[in-house]
Amino acid sequence: MSSQAPKLGHAYASLPERFYSPAKAANFPDAKLIEVNDHLAEELGIDPDWLRSIAGLGLISGLDPPSNAKPVAQVYAGHQFGGFVPRLGDGRAILMGEMRGYDIHLKGTGPTEFSRNGDGKSALGPVIREYLVSEAMHALGVPTTRALAAVTTGESVIRQFGPEPGGIFTRVARSHTRVGTLQYFAAQQDTEALEILTRHCIDHMYPDAEGALGLLEKVIARQAELVAHWMSLGFIHGVMNTDNCAISGDTIDYGPCAFMDTFHPRCVFSSIDRQGRYSWENQAKIAHWNLTRLAETLLPLIDKDVEKAKEKAQSALTQFAPEFRSEYLRRFRAKLGLKDGSESFINTTLSHMADTGKDFTIFFSKLTKLAQGDASGDYFKNDWLTSWRAEGKADAHLMRANNPVLIPRNHQVQNAIQQAYEGDFSLFRRLLEAWKNPFTEQPEFSDLEKPPTESERVRETFCGT
Ligand code: AMP
Ligand code: MG
């Protein structure tokens, strides 16, 4: 591996100019490195030592990108909480280029053509949060964008509660193309751009998909799996707008997301989600809604005959529910250790958990220990235990692989942010380390298994923009 600057590719920035706007990072002369993800850097063919050097800082702070970078802000539209916004775009992010086909994308680098009234910057809190949670999601096995690096900018940004230290996050993704990107061109009736983008998505992510309909079917399947996976871990994305719904099927945009502590199906954290549109239990319905918007954008490419196109798209969309359901049942059966557990028993279990205010992660973790013969059943109500046993013999091995011991709990993320604001990144690093092995009992991190106390509990999360 060379210790040279990475050789960035530009598949996206080679698309026609109306797909992006050239961008330039603001000047952050006091930017300082917080963290580099060495392992990910190596996977991408970037020398971690280079990334940690002054030259590397030039890339991840945006101050002095390598000469082969081609910074652009991507254009997209999106339905935000159900309302269509025809032009959003990267208002606080730029794409530097690609390494081994993965986007190297900086978040918080200052205004772009799409910033509207925003400052284009990011507070340090959301940087720490996205770094921790996206890496934890990866370790939990959930398809996701990744964290390559984080820096402090050395300047303050003004947010809801006053000035906060600024940060820049380097995100790695297979692609940043969103449902909203296609919506942007569909709204402009720019069929040529739609065709180009569809082709780009197929070539880049779904080489065996046949045409626009094939692409739609793939995205439907990926999103169905993704949401079932989220739900099986108690994850709530929090802002499933179509601009935050990636064509790749990876989790993207860790804004007000959260893992539930106490289980409740209508659980919501985001301060702006007043109606509970993006609650835990609504996520599949919303994913289907988003995919319907995707199908609409692709109609002109699916068939020249509008009625036929609608029929084909409709038929693809009907696949979502069974695909989601089968994944959801498979995952919850595995959590309960029951290969053939009934759907009604899964529902009973979830109602029981909600009624008794159980911690989602601890419930399944304790059940795993019980199945392993390492714990008593005291934690569980007798009636429920009897029904569980009646469902069949539990497979402890299956349970261990599906029930994490550790999840990125909100209050822990919040504590890491608090400390980072005081210049101390030790908890951030400790959490990063602990969450690399979420399915393994790690005695040195057993304190992190605990749910929050009443006073520690985080009830509301913020986009932080
Ligand atoms: P998000 O809530 O992060 O998905 O962002 C929604 C839209 O708001 C995107 O177009 C962002 O680029 C834009 N946005 C968010 N924060 C800022 C900011 N601080 N400055 C400019 N644009 C922003
Ligand atoms: Mg977004």
Give mean pLDDT, residues 47-67.
97
In-domain check, residue 258: no
Span 24-41, pLDDT tens digits: 999 999 999 999 999 999
Determine the distance separating the centroid of ligand 2 and the alpha carbon of 115, expressed in angstroms: 12
- Please tell me the pTM assigned to this model: 0.98
**Residue that is last in its domain, among 157, 173, 189:** 173
pLDDT of 63 > 90? The answer is yes
Give mean pLDDT, residues 158-169.
96
* pLDDT confidence band for 241 (50 / 70 / 90): very high
Q: Which domain holds residue 103?
A: 17-173
| pLDDT value for 462 | 84
User: Is 270:463 a contact under the CB 8 Å cutoff?
Assistant: yes
> Could you give the CA distance from residue 440 to residue 119 in angstroms, rounded to a whole number?
42
Span 74-130, pLDDT tens digits: 999 999 999 999 999 999 999 999 999 999 999 999 999 999 999 999 999 999 999
> Could you give the CA distance from residue 156 to residue 149 in angstroms, rounded to a whole number?
19
**Residue that is last in its domain, among 360, 384, 402:** 402
* pLDDT confidence band for 1 (50 / 70 / 90): very low
Decide whether any atom of ligand 1 lies within 6 Å of the 256 Cβ. no
DSSP secondary structure, 173-235, as one string: ES---BHHHHHHHHHTT-HHHHHHHHHHHHHHH-TT--HHHHHHHHHHHHHHHHHHHHHHTTE
In-domain check, residue 182: no
Containing H/E element for 132?
helix 124-139
Count of domains forming the chain? 2
Mean pLDDT of the chain: 97
| pLDDT value for 4 | 85
**Residue that is last in its domain, among 173, 192, 220:** 173
User: Is 260:254 a contact under the CB 8 Å cutoff?
Assistant: no
Compute the Cα dihedral for 348, 354, 356, 358 and give only its sign: positive
Q: Whose CA is nearest to atom 12 of ligand 1?
A: 91
Span 347-393, pLDDT tens digits: 999 999 999 999 999 999 999 999 999 989 999 999 999 999 999 99
In-domain check, residue 298: no
Span 283-325, pLDDT tens digits: 999 999 999 999 999 999 999 999 999 999 999 999 999 999 9
For the CA of 178, the nearest ligand: 2
In-domain check, residue 55: yes
In-domain check, residue 275: no
| pLDDT value for 224 | 98
> Could you give the CA distance from residue 85 to residue 272 in angstroms, rounded to a whole number?
17
Pairing of β 258-259 and β 72-74:
unpaired
* pLDDT confidence band for 463 (50 / 70 / 90): confident
In-domain check, residue 416: no
In-domain check, residue 307: no
Decide whether any atom of ligand 1 lies within 6 Å of the 178 Cβ. no
User: Is 280:231 a contact under the CB 8 Å cutoff?
Assistant: yes
As annotated, the active-site residues are 243
Report the candidate in 281, 387, 392 with the shortest Cα–Cα distance to residue 334: 392
| pLDDT value for 3 | 72
Give the other-Cβ count within 10 Å of 294's Cβ: 25
In-domain check, residue 390: yes
pLDDT of 465 > 80? The answer is no
Decide whether any atom of ligand 1 lies within 6 Å of the 273 Cβ. no
